[in-house]
Structure formats: structure tokens, C-alpha cells
Structure 1
Amino acid sequence: MFSLGIIDTVTPGDLTGGKHVAGTGTITPDGAVGPIGGIEQKLHGARAGGATLFLAPAANCGEVVGNIPDGLQVVRVETLAEARAAVERAASGQDTSGLPTCTNN
């Protein structure tokens, strides 16, 4: 999310379009999103904080399934570019139900 915050700061407009988006993951120099620890707690904390969209590293999907709080859509991401595209899609009001999840491709 820090990387997306930087993108938001250095580009025109509001990247999230006012949507409450959360997420986690490491970012490699080539833009790959890597796994993190504690994703179950992060999912619940994000929802409690008002997030409706959560970006999760693909490598953490095994821990995500069965632990998604009601009202939170989890999008599986493998790259920073995918994360940005998901946020931009949500911000524009487009349907996000077709974005990758931890249970589909």
C-alpha cells in the first residue's frame, strides 16, 4: 500500500476515487508482490477500519480463503501493476467482481 500511496502522490487525481482500500505485501524492485505474515489479522483490521477492498499477495491466498470478513472483497495480486489496476477500476466505479480472487483465476 505504501507503493500505491507514492503513485497516488506523484500522479494527478485521487488514485482511490475516495474508496477505502487496504492491502499488504512486499514489493520487489521489479514490481512483484510478495507474501507477508499475519494476513488474517490484517483482513479483519482492514474491514474494522472501513475498507471494502483488500489487495492480497497471491502467495498468501491459502491463508485468505475462509478468513474474509463480511463486506470485504479480496483481490489477489501478483504485481504492483495489477494492484494499481484493481484500485483504478474500483475508483472509476467499474464492476470489480471479475478481478482475480484467491478462489478464481
Structure 2
Amino acid sequence: MDALQVGAQGFFSLSLCFDLGMVNIAIMKTRMEREFKHSFMIGFGAFFGDLFYLSLALIGVSLFVVPRLQNTARYVEAQAHGGWTSLWLSLTILSAKNAKGTAAAR
């Protein structure tokens, strides 16, 4: 494979990761209708809004998680609980998927 093909595949897979949300659509629409300054200000405001929301979420999580995980036994307990919950959810989804498959085959 040449570099262009690898780059195109990488760009395509990366573009699938970025969803076009309402703010991105508003930025593109504003840029097409008005000048760059207006669309930049929308993006700038969205960035700081997301940053503020992230900081509030991290503060909220740290209030509940950090004091409880000071003890190593509690940390192991939390990790085990998360692992078992993930395994249970995976098995539930797989069994529901298999049940749909067998019902469709009838």
C-alpha cells in the first residue's frame, strides 16, 4: 500500500469517530451564511461550555470516588464489581441477540 491509500483509510476511519452534532452543523451553516468570526465564536463558546461541563463532572465524580478508594481493598472491590457488571451486561446482550436470531429462524 502506498502512503496515500493508508492516509485515506486512516482519515476515513477517523471521520467515523467524529459525529456531526448540532454545534458542528451550526458552525458550518453559520460559516456558509456569514463570515468566519461568527462561526469561530460559536465554536469557542461550545468549547468552553464543554470544558465547564467536564470540570463539573470530574469534581462530582471525585467527591464520591476518591474518598472511597483510599483503601486498597475498596479499590479492588470496585474493580471487581465493575468487571462483573460488564461481563453480566455483555452476556445479557449476547443472549438477547441469540434469542432474536432463533426467533427469526422459525
TM-score surpassing 0.5?
A: no
Shorter-normalised TM range:
under 0.3
Whose strand fraction is larger, Structure 1's or Structure 2's? 1
Instruction: Report the TM-score, using the length of structure 2 for normalisation.
Output: 0.19
Greater CA radius of gyration, 1 or 2?
A: 2
Structure with greater proportional helix content? 2
Which gives a bigger RCO, structure 1 or 2 (Cα 8 Å, sep 6+)?
A: 1
